Structure 1
Amino acid sequence: MSEESALVRSLRGAVAAAPEDAPLRLHLAELLLEAGQNDAAITEVAVALQHAPGDEKARELMGRAMGAPAPAPAPVQQTPPANPAAPVQEKPADTRPDGFDWQAAEGEIRDVVPPRFVESPLRADGNDDPGDADAWEVDAPGTVRLADVGGMQDVKDRLEAAFLAPMRNPELRKLYGKSLRGGLLLYGPPGCGKTFIARAVAGELGAGFLSVSVNDVLDMWIGNSERNMHEIFATARRQAPCVVFLDELDALGGKRSRTQHSGMRNTVNQLLTELDGIDAQANEGVFVLAATNLPWDVDLALRRPGRLDRTLLVLPPDAPAREAILRYHLKDRPIENVDLAKLAKVTDGLSGADLAHVCESAAETALLDSARTGTVRMIGMKDLLGAAKAVVPSTEAWFSAARNVAMFANEGGTYDDLLAYLKKRRKL
C-alpha cells in the first residue's frame, strides 16, 4: 500500500506539471480507482475528458468509477427486410451503446468540473453579439432642480430663455415657431458644476438622464464605437423624455482634422448623424446636453445650427453659490461659530471642487488635533480660513489657456461671454 501511495503521489506531481496530458491523468485515475478512491478518480477522468472528449478509455473509466455494470456483449440480430409502412422507432437521446447513463454522470460531476463552454444569451433583436442595446442605464427623473443650484442667476436665466421655456410651453413654442432642434453645450473651467446643472435641467423637464463618457463609447473593434453611439441615442428615444448628457465632448467629438485614427473620425461622424435627427418625429422628447473644458478642441460641425448650437459658459461660483456649496459640505460636520458670508468672500475664484477640498482640509485639521490631544473639538473659522488660504484655485490654468483663445480666436463672437468675464476680472 505504501508503495502504491508513493506511486500515486508521484503521478500527481507529474499531472500537475503536465495538466493537459490526458493519458497520464487517466493512469492516475485508474490507480485511484483500484485504491477505492472513486470520487478522486471521477474528478481526474472528468478533467481528462475535457482535453480528450472522445477517449474510449476515459469513458470506460468513468463508467467504472460511477458504478456502472460491465457492458454485456450485444446479441447478433438478423436485420429484417425494410418495410416502408412500418413506423420508424427512434432511439432515446440518452441511450448509449455501452449502456452507461452519461446524462446522470454529467449531473454528478457538474459541481466538480465547470462546463467547457458557456453560451452568451442572445440579444433582444436576435443578434448573438454580446452587446446589448438595453445595456445603457437611464436614471429616472431626479428631484434636483435649478433652485438647488446656489447662485448663478445669469446661468439660470439663460437656460430658461434658450432651452427650458420652449420645452415647457409647447403651445407658445408652436405659436412663435420655436424649433426644438439643436442641443446645449456647457463649457468652462473644471469643477464648476456643469454636470450638476445638466442634472438640474433634466429635473426641470421631468426627463430621464443618460450620462455618456468616452469610455462608454470607444471600442477596440472596428464599427463597435459607431454602433455604441447609435444605441445610446436609440435607448434615449425608447425611454423619452430623456436628456442625453455627453460628458467631455472634446474627447467624444474632437476635431476630425486633428484625428489620425479613422475609427475616431467615424465615431464623430456617427454623433453628427444622431444629432441631425433630433428634430425628427421619432426623436421627440430627446434633449442633448454636452459639457467640455476645452470647447476650442470640439469639432466645428458639432456646433453648427441644429446640433449643439446653444452655448452656455459656466464660470466659478459667485458669492451666493459659494455660500450654498460651503453650507452643503459642512452641514453634517461638527462646526461652531462659522461665518459663511465671510468664508464665501475670502474664497472668491475657487471652483466647487476647490470649496469641497477646503471643507475636507479643515475637517482633517480638527480631527488630527482631536487625536493628538484626546479631546474632541469642533471645526472652527480658523480651520476653514487656514484651509482656504492654502488652496490654489484650480481654475487658474484653465483661464490662462482660455485667455489666448478669447483674444485671438473668437470667430463670430463665440467666446464673447468669456471675454467679458476676463475683462471684468482684469485677467486680460
Structure 2
Amino acid sequence: MAQNLDALRLALQHSPDNAPLLLLLAEGCLEEGLVEEAEQCFHRVLQNDPAHADARLGLARVAFLQGKTSQAAVRAEQVLSDTPTCAAAYLLLARIHVTENELARAKAMYDKGVALNAALADPGIEKDLRGVKPSGNDDSSRKRGAMTSSGAFLESATEDKDEDENDDDGHPRGGAAFDLGLADFEKPKLNFSGVGGMEVLKEEIRMKIIYPLQHAELFKAYDKKVGGGVLLYGPPGCGKTLISKATAGEIKANFIAIGLHQVIDMWIGNSEKNMHEVFELARQNAPSILFFDEIDALAADRRDLRQSAGRNIINAFLMELDGSESNNDGVLILGATNAPWHIDPAFRRPGRFDRTLFVPPPDEPGRAAIIEVMAQKKPIAELDPKALAKKTEGFSGADIKAVFDLATEEVLNQAMKTGKVIPLTTKDLIKAAAKHKATTKAWFESAKNYAMYSNQSGFYDDVLAHLGLLKR
C-alpha cells in the first residue's frame, strides 16, 4: 500500500488538481491511518469544487475518526441536505449514532442507506442494531421536504394533518417535537473544588464570568448586560467541558450541554427551529449556561459551504447569539473548540464570542491535583502525586486518566489470577506513564504555526506565552 501511495503522490506532482487522484490518495491514507494527509486531500478537492459530495463526506469521515462526532454529523447531514441519495452519508450517520448509543436513530439511518445501496451493508452495524426498531422521528414524522443541490425545495406526496397540530401544552406533536432529553436538566453539583488544577483559568473565569453574574445589579446600573458568549479553546482532553460544568455549579446556574449534531436536521427549516428552542430553553431557565461543544463544526461550515443550505442554521445561530429578537440577559453561551483557527471571524466580533479563554494542559502542581482527584476512587496503597506529576510533563487531564487506566489494567490482570484486590502504587502509575505519549504535542505543533504567522489580532498570544515565545 505504501508503494501505491507514493505512486499517487508522484502522479499528483504532475497533476495537482486531479480530483480522482486526490480522492484515491485520500482513501489510501485513511486505510493506512494517515488521517491528516487524507484531510488535506479532501480540502484540495473542495478548493476547486466546493460542492463535491465525496470530498465533503470525506471530511465528515475524517472528523469522525478524529473523535469529533458533532462535526462529523453536521457535515454528513449537510451532504444529505444537498444530495439526499448519498447512501454513504446515511451509513456514516448510523455509525455516529451507534457510538452515542442512539440506536433507534442509527437504525433509521442505516436502513435508508442500505435501501439506497445494498452493497454498503455492514455486518458490524447490523449486529449492534439487532432487535432495534427505527425511530419514528427520522422519516415520515418529520417535516416533508428537503433541499436539493440546486436549492429547490421538494415536498413528499404524502401528508399528515396531525403533524402541524400542537398538544395540550402547546408543543408540536410527532416528529415536529424537539426532544433532546433536556427537560430534566438540573444545576450541576460539581464546582471548582472538584476540578484539579487550572487555578489561573479558574481566576480568569471568576473575573470574566462569575463575578458579573453574581453582581448583576451593579452591571445593570451601568446598562451592561449579564451574559454573552465566551470561547474556550485549547488541546483536546484538557477539561473544557469539565470547567464549563463546574462554572455553572459555582454560580448555581442551569447547565445545558448541546452537541451541534443534536440540532442539525436534514429537513429544511427544522434546524433553525431546533436552534431557537434550545436558546429559548436557556432563556426560560436563566441564569443558565448554554454549552456548545465542537463549535468549530458550525463555524467551519460557514467557510467551506458557502452555497449550502447549512448557512441558514449558521445565520440562525448568530441571530440567537446576538439576542436581536429575544433577551439573552442571564444566559451565558460557552463554546469549546480544539481548532480555533477554523472559527470564522464573524463569530468573534463584539457581542458574540468576544471573550476567549485558553485552556492549556495542566502545569505540574495542576497535574498533582488532578492525580489526587483521580486517585480518590481507586484502591491505592501509596501515592506520591508530585513524583507522578514530574513524569507526566505535557499530559492533559485525559492523558492522566489514560495513565490510571493503563496501570489499572496491569493490576487487574494480577488480581484476576489471585482473586484478590491488589492496590495500585506510584510505581505502577509511573510505569504506565512511560508507555503513554502526551496527546497535546500534536495540537501545539499546529497551533504554533497559526500563532507565529496568523496572529495579527493577538488572538493566540496565550499560546505563544505557554510555549515561552512571548514575554509578558
TM over 0.5: same fold?
Answer: yes
Percent of aligned positions with the same letter in both sequences? 43
Describe the superposition over 1:169-225 as per-residue Cα deviations: whole angstroms up to 9, x where unpaired.
Answer: 123323455443631100000000000111111112221111111221111111211
Q: Does 1:402 align with 2:447?
A: yes
**CA drift at 1:344:** 1.4
2:232 and 2:356 in contact (8 A); partners too = yes
Aligned to 1:57: none
Quote the Cα distance in structure 2 between the aligned partners of 1:153 and 1:303: 25
State the one-letter code of the partner of 1:416.
Answer: D
After TM superposition, give the deviation of residue 413 of structure 1 in Å.
0.6
Residue of structure 1 equivalent to 2:270: 224
Q: Please say if 1:345 is aligned against 2:395.
A: no
Contact 1:275 1:307 in 2 (8 A): yes
Provide the rounded CA distance (Å) in 2 between the counterparts of 1:392 and 1:224. 43
CA distance, structure 2, for counterparts of residue 175 and residue 240 of structure 1: 19
Match of 2:226 among 156, 163, 180: 180
* Whole-Å separation in 2 of the counterparts to 1:368 and 1:118: 60
Q: What is the rounded CA distance, in whole Å, between the counterparts of 1:395 and 1:373 in structure 2?
A: 37
Provide the residue aligned with 1:310 in structure 2: 355
Quickly say closer, same or farther: Cα 1:131–1:365, change in 2 above 3 A: same
Structure 1 position 421, deviation (Å): 0.7
Q: Deviations over 1:372-414 (max 9, x none)?
A: 4566532122211110011100111111110111001112111
Q: Which residue of 1 aligns with 2:316?
A: 270
Normalised to the residue count of structure 2, the TM-score between the two structures is 0.61
Aligned to 2:89: none
What letter corresponds to residue 285 of structure 1 in structure 2? G
Q: Secondary structure at the match of 2:362?
A: coil
**2:283: which partner in 1?**
237
Q: Secondary structure at the match of 2:332?
A: strand
| 1:363 is aligned to 2:408 | yes
What is the DSSP-based 3-state SS (H/G/I as helix, E as strand, rest coil) of the residue aligned with 1:311?
strand
Q: 1:293 Cα deviation (Å)? A: 0.4
Which of 209, 223, 248 in structure 1 is aligned with 2:255?
209
Note if contact 2:299-2:314 (Cα within 8 Å) is conserved in structure 1. yes
Q: Does 1:259 align with 2:305?
A: yes
Question: How far apart, in 2, do the equivalents of 1:339 and 1:425 lie?
Answer: 33
Is the Cα–Cα contact under 8 Å of residues 213 and 252 in structure 1 kept in the other structure? no
Give the corresponding residue for 1:381.
Answer: 426
Residue 295 (structure 2) pairs with residue 295 (structure 1): no
Matches within 5 A, 1:20-39: none
Instruction: Give the aligned partner of residue 200 of structure 1.
Output: 246
User: Which of 212, 218, 228 is residue 166 of structure 1 equivalent to?
Assistant: 212
Find 1:283's aligned residue among 328, 341, 344: 328
**Is the contact between residue 219 and residue 225 of structure 2 (CA under 8 Å) also seen in structure 1?**
yes
SS at match of 1:407: helix
- How do residues 326-337 of structure 1 correspond to structure 2 at under 5 angstroms? 326-337=371-382
Letter in 2 for 1:368: N
| Partner in structure 2 of residue 354 of structure 1 | 399
CA distance in structure 2 between the aligned counterparts of 1:191 and 1:422, rounded to whole angstroms: 18
- Is 1:324 aligned with 2:366? no
The 3-state SS of whatever aligns with 1:185 is: strand
Q: Separation in 2 of the partners of 1:378 and 1:135? A: 41
CA distance in 2, matches of 1:348, 1:310: 29
Residue 393 of structure 1 is aligned with which of 426, 438, 449? Answer: 438
Looking at structure 2, the residues matched to 197 and 217 of structure 1 have their Cα atoms a distance apart, in angstroms, of 23
1:255 positional shift: 5.2
Describe the shift of the 1:195–1:300 C-alpha distance in structure 2 as closer, same or farther (beyond 3 A): same
Write out per-residue CA displacement over residues 341-385 of structure 1, whole angstroms, 9 at most, x where no aligned residue.
111121121111111111111111111123345665321222111
Unaligned runs of 5+ in 1: 1-116
Aligned length: 309
Q: Is the 8 A contact 2:227 2:331 kept in 1?
A: no
What secondary structure does 2:175 align onto? Answer: coil
**1:42-57 equivalences in 2 (<5 Å):** none
- Once the two structures are overlaid, the 10-residue window that deviates more, 301-310 or 196-205, is 196-205
2:227–2:330 contact (8 Å) kept in structure 1: no
1:255/1:298 contact within 8 Å kept: no
Q: Deviations over 1:63-90 (max 9, x none)?
A: xxxxxxxxxxxxxxxxxxxxxxxxxxxx
In structure 2, relative to structure 1, the CA distance for the partners of 1:348 and 1:425 (3 Å cut) is farther
* Aligned mates of 1:271, 1:260 — CA distance in 2: 16
State TM-score, norm by structure 1. Answer: 0.67
Conservation of the 8 A alpha-carbon contact between 1:316 and 1:352 = yes
For 1:69, the equivalent position in structure 2 comes to none
Report the secondary structure of 1:332's partner residue: coil
